[in-house]
Structure 1
């Protein structure tokens, strides 16, 4: 099957994600100025409906018979990083399959794989590949829904790359493509995705678990948000799994997200804050030739509040993502739906010839 590296434009474009009993979708039409008119957007939940009843509900929304572009959400695949195998380009996938066999959580024969190069190919040192590994059964389930709705599925994409497309568009409009650009998108109450790109290529991605109740906290209050990062107490003896920047593995001596057993809002919010700061600091140390221009954030109706809190606590330039100029009609949509559907907009920006 084909992974994300092609864009087809013909009339209205339908972008869809299907995960955990939820379909998020965007229907948009290209404009002559390069932007898009968002004609339809929403989130539909299957709930207790049978597959047949759910399909009928989606058909009633006018989603039948479209040429669709699918985006997998992070829970539906693993994004791994390996050294580029010393093989011919046409053999990269086969070599990557062998190399990641001990890194995946299911049998390698049950996975659908594709690869893309980390960064823009200009960095020094050993080159690296991102390897996308999705269970074939999950991919098949998405395609089965498409078959039931008579979709022609042209592309399957992943959230990291469509998020890169959105931040690259904003960086291009600001004349900052050659500087690194970080984006943090909160699509639901439990998870956020941090990506760093430069020169329109993805360099870094990290998934962050949100503390329980984080999206309901008063981030402007010291009672909720707690101390600044520099004042935060770091528990000793806890562990967070290693993660990678530019192929270099790094660890941490404390957990991020909602791993604390105390459940205290101050501590949990601070752990998330420190994990974001740690990622940005690690980038600055690892990629001094590509300084960060700032951090962009999206959290639905609370995007501006999150940007202000992170900017104040970390001393970084943090701005709320606003795609309204390029995607007209967003302001008429439900805020919760906008948060979940925002990554899908990046699939509309897919361009030809992505480098391996």
Structure 2
């Protein structure tokens, strides 16, 4: 996503998920085309953020930050009919009336959606206020962190989905983290669809069984509507199943969704992807979920 610095050749990558009261990170390298996870840790963020980030400082390993949900916007748009080198400028002009601050105060990037022949030319404009990005750039400088990119959760989850996909098949991946629920649909490593779901597993754990059932009902309905929308928009695509990851921290959620959805729901086997250093604790894994996906980041493709 937002990249300002040319990444020097390095086999490792570290991603930080911040802004949720927790400081979560994952570091990995690639060996023979497979990710080798070196660490995956979450802890309470120190009041002095630069001090917290200091543990990542002084290392040549490139670092990326995954923004929290409230720190950016995703705006679906039709691709402007301009050459690739003019795309971002054209998108800035197109979305200027859709944001609540002057477009000159925004940093804009673009994701081209994998949409097939039936709905080509669809883009997602990724918009963040300059002060949000400046905050992380200054924090990295104070902590001597080799910051090279700033990412978003939707692309972090896409990176994990790419490891779970079957070539040329469509994968729906559903996650629940302290930020809520996120459904992504991907094909051949590219994002096709995304939807935020209002379901905080930490808060839901504190509810009684009756309240949980109400939330489960609403969640199942939102998922079903999303799946129906995808099949209407892309009649040539076939969704065989939904994968759920990281492991749900709310008892009964997976079983309830299995009963309500017409597609099979499977728990993703993350230990097959990351045989070592994966947290055993479901809460820690959920907190590190987007950091884990961010650490899988490869160089962005050109539009």
TM range (shorter): 0.7 to 0.9
Counterpart for residue 110 of structure 2: 115
Query: Residues 124 and 155 of structure 1: is their aligned pair in 2 closer, same or farther, counting only changes over 3 Å?
Result: same
Deviations 1:286-313 (Å, cap 9, x if unpaired)?
Answer: 2111111211112545389533321122
Residue 108 of structure 1: CA displacement? 1.5
Contact 1:117 1:128 in 2 (8 A): yes
**Relative to 1, partners in 2 of residues 1:353 and 1:143: Cα closer, same or farther, differing over 3 Å?**
closer
Is 1:101 the counterpart of 2:81 in the alignment?
no
Q: Equivalent residue of 1:41, what SS?
A: strand
Query: Residue 203 of structure 1 corresponds to which residue in structure 2?
Result: 192
Q: Distance in 2 between matches of 1:101 and 1:283?
A: 28
Structure 1: distance between partners of 2:71 and 2:28: 25
| C-alpha distance in 2 between matches for 1:306 and 1:201 | 28
SS, match of residue 34 in structure 2 = coil
Name the residue aligned to 1:147. 141
- Against the structure 1 CA distance between its residues 124 and 287, is the aligned structure 2 distance closer, same or farther, given a 3 Å change threshold? closer
Instruction: Quote the residue 1:133 is aligned against.
Output: 127
**Structure with bigger gyration radius:** 1
Kept in 2, the 8 Å contact 1:27–1:41? The answer is: no
Contact between 1:165 and 1:200, CA under 8 Å: does it hold in 2?
A: yes
Deviation at 1:7, TM superposition (A): 7.4
Higher RCO (CA-CA < 8 Å; seq separation 6+): 2
Contact 1:168–1:177 (8 Å) recurs in 2: no
- Structure 1 portions without partners, runs of 5+: 225-263
Aligned length: 300
**What is aligned with 1:34?**
34
Q: Distance in 1 between matches of 2:170 and 2:34?
A: 24
Partner of 2:58: 65
TM-score (norm 2): 0.87
CA–CA separation in structure 2 for the residues paired with 1:6 and 1:165: 21
For residue 330 of structure 1, report the CA deviation from its aligned partner: 4.0
Residues 74 and 57 of structure 1, relative CA distance in 2, 3 Å threshold = closer
Task: Provide the rounded CA distance (Å) in 2 between the counterparts of 1:335 and 1:138.
Answer: 29
2:298 counterpart of 1:338: no
Partner of 2:215: 268
1:94, distance to aligned residue in structure 2 (A): 0.8
Take 1:44 and 1:195, find their aligned partners in 2: how far apart are those partners? 28
Gaps of 5+ in 2: none
Matches within 5 A, 1:1-356: 2-3=2-3, 10-32=10-32, 34-46=34-46, 49=47, 51=48, 54-59=49-54, 62-66=55-59, 67-119=62-114, 122-171=116-165, 176-188=166-178, 191-210=180-199, 213-216=203-206, 224=210, 264-300=211-247, 302=249, 305-352=252-299, 354-356=301-303
Q: 1:162 to 1:58 in 2, by over 3 A?
A: closer
Q: Secondary structure, in 3 states, of the residue corresponding to 1:19? A: coil
Q: Distance in 2 between matches of 1:319 and 1:3?
A: 35
Counterparts of 2:221 and 2:269, CA distance in 1 = 25
Q: CA RMSD in A?
A: 2.8
Q: Give a deviation string over 1:33-61, Cα, whole Å, max 9, x none.
A: 61213334223323xx3x2xx433443xx
CA distance in 1, matches of 2:134, 2:300: 26
In the superposition, the TM-score normalised over structure 1's length comes to 0.75
- Shift in Å, 1:117: 0.9
